[in-house]
Chain A
Amino acid sequence: MTTRALQKVRVAQIEGVTPSVKRFTLESAQGGRLPSWSSGSHIGVTLAGTELSWRNSYSLIGTPGETRFYQIAVRKEEVSRSKGGSRFLHEQVQVGDTLEISAPGNYFPLARHAAKHVLIAGGIGVTPFLAHLSALRRSGANCELHYAFRDRAEGAFWEQLCSEYGSHTRFYVSEEGSRLSPAAVLAHQPLGTHVYVCGPHSLISAVSGAAAELGWPSSHVHFEEFAPPPVSDSLPFLVHLPELSVEVKVGIRETILEALERAGVPIASSCRVGQCGTCEMHVVGGEADHRDRCLSEGEMHEGKIIACVSRCRGQKLTLALPG
């Protein structure tokens, strides 16, 4: 997605947390410290199998700022290609192996000034909250965790959370008939409370829906779906610029911007990682595969596209130069 700094890590420890969740401890392969990070951060892990490779995102768990090692908790998913990376981690990766990871990024940070923090987790979506709770306890903030999972054998970390955070935690075990009601959790929170949700899409929409109905400002509702794995498979396609009568093939390992530059078309650019929007172009034909982090949904609907990272769903994209 973006060109976040990559580095090699060594798998220092693998522990079973539940029958389907393992905790991996990763140390810098060169020795020394890893970059500092904030709670809610994730790392991208590149997993190179014999036929396929994956780049999956996992939340960092443990104490924020721990730089001697990183820890991630991975649930083994059974099918679906996009989740193949978790099976690979469970079945192939051994202690002592070297993996490539990205520097930590954070799309799910705490709002530090909140009067109170309500954390709602579903299943393995509990992982970012392990670090959040550690950070919140350190700053003495008012917080509570509501954690829903299927059964006690499969609920990761609940015993640890129960013993460390005691009365600040509440668990909902569906096999025992205990259900989390977002409306009940949110109904009597003090003004200035922020809610954070991580889990399956159904939980996120239930919490967002309940918050909206209760009149919570949307800026106080934060969510992260099970970190969607960035699309790493890229197919070649054609880019056509009718204005200049240019047609150029965008290869697997190059971007629209690079292909156009190769063809002698000057496009203003700056960051070249999909952040600044300088190389914005307009889609005239074909379907864009947006991979930037600067356009709003409205701008995408208007046909804007960021040439340094975005691609094409299909064979051909017809573009126009900016204004």
Chain B
Amino acid sequence: MTVLLESKPLPSLKNSPEAIHRFPFPFRTDSYGYSVNLVPSGQGAAGTYDEHLFDIDEHYLTEFRERRRILCEDHGRRYLTLPHMMEAQWDFLEMGMTRLAAGYPEHFTLKQDGNFWHWENRLIDLVQNFTFGDPATLPQEPLEWIGRQMQGDFCLLDQREGDLYLDAGLVTFPADWSLSFDLGMTFEEWHGPVPLAHPAGVFTRAKKFLMNLEIDQPWQRLNWTFTIGPRLDTSPEAYHLWGRDKAGVTADNAGELVHLRVEVQVLARLPRSHGVLFSIRTYLIRLDELAANPDWARRLSCVLATLPPEIVDYKGLAETREAVIDWLKQSQLD
């Protein structure tokens, strides 16, 4: 088994006032339950997290370096792809490059001459010429190579025989799930542990929805949990490094330790392979950053107070929920 030598929280993930302002706060009401909460993606107002399909923000370099470190230590469990997914990998590379170049021309440039492509990423001083469709012309496979240059985790799903299979992924920042465990699973299988939603038919509906995704019409949903410390890698593979952190949370220190972790999950049709892209972009906000917005603090404490016990357990909130509620209430009094 690979040992992660270094997995420190990342102090540079502290949010600027602008990042706090554009944080994807996930609660639209004072209570929370599972639903197929899908909305069109990449159509938000200028400056919001949803202006572009693939958001690039002030944490780009922090995430880039953190991913490089994780892949260096644990590549075999964080980047996995089955052989029939190569077409989908090129699909993803094309979607990533064209979206980034169109959305952030100051950072990225893409020039295409037939299958001869020229790519520039000025955020990391990278220039690459390659032949689209020929993996030998890239330093890594297409999914890993372009995925490392984007923020978030990326899963490619194969659509066949009336189901969706998780057959490729670059997953370094998961909220307590494992790509190497889930690889090759069907949609319902990898959602197996989620409570309450199966009887409600949420996954049956969601799967049908995904299998009907149209080209150029991406959708998104938000998911959330708590993370202790500014830590992106909360994988089972690194549990020995982060699992114990929850025990130290109190109503006094929750504001500095506890982060609301929000995933913007994008679902898009991959046009060349008829596969589906499932991307998971993680945003972390410290409770005391979040409490700068009193409406958010009040709503979050209402949501936590009324959360069904099954969801509290599944999201791993049991140890910290009371402390967080108490801290939020105190912050509203101050």
Contacts and interface: CB of A to CB of B under 8 A. Distances in A.
A38 B274 CA distance: 6
Contacts of B217: 4-5, 103
Interface string A281-310: 000000000000110000000000000000
A244 interface: no
A278 interface: yes
Interface string B172-215: 00000000000000000000000000000000011011001111
Interface in B232-281: 271-274
A180 B209 CA distance: 37
B39 A270 contact: yes
B272 A65 contact: yes
A277 B209 contact: yes
Nearest to A219: B161
Given A277-B205, A277-B209, A112 B84 contact: yes
A103 B214 contact: yes
A191 interface: no
Interface in B144-165: 158-162
A241 interface: no
A277 B215 contact: no
B274 A40 contact: yes
A139 B219 CA distance: 30
A64 B273 CA distance: 9
A41 B273 CA distance: 11
Contacts of B208: 275-277, 293-294
Contact of A278 (B36, B159, B213): B36
B208 to A, nearest CB: 5
A123 interface: no
Given A36-B271, A38-B274, A277-B209, A5 B158 contact: no
Contact of A270 (B37, B215, B216): B37
Interface residues on B, range: 20 to 34
A5, A37, A139, A270: residue with the most chain B Cβ atoms closer than 10 Å: A270
Interface in A31-69: 35-38, 40-41, 64-65
A315 interface: no
B91 interface: yes
A296 B269 CA distance: 22
Contact of A109 (B35, B84, B159): B159
Contacts of B159: 109
B157 to A, nearest CB: 12
Given A5-B217, A37-B272, A219 B212 contact: no
B94 interface: yes
A270 to B, nearest CB: 5
Contacts of A275: 208-209, 212-213
B291 interface: no
Contacts of B84: 112-113
A271 B219 contact: yes
A114 B8 CA distance: 45
Nearest to B84: A112
A103 B216 contact: yes
B38 interface: yes
B158 A112 contact: yes
B215 A37 contact: yes
Given A277-B209, A294-B212, A271 B38 contact: yes
B36 A270 contact: yes
B92 to A, nearest CB: 12
Given A103-B215, A275-B209, A275-B213, 11 more contacts: A2-B214, A41-B274, A104-B271, A105-B214, A112-B84, A220-B161, A276-B36, A276-B209, A277-B36, A277-B205, A278-B36
The 6 closest A-B pairs by CB, nearest first: A36-B271, A219-B161, A38-B274, A109-B274, A112-B84, A276-B209
Interface of A: 2, 4-5, 35-38, 40-41, 64-65, 103-106, 109-113, 139, 219-220, 270-271, 275-278, 293-294
11 contacts: A36-B272, A104-B215, A109-B159, A111-B161, A275-B209, A277-B36, A277-B208, A293-B208, A293-B212, A294-B205, A294-B208
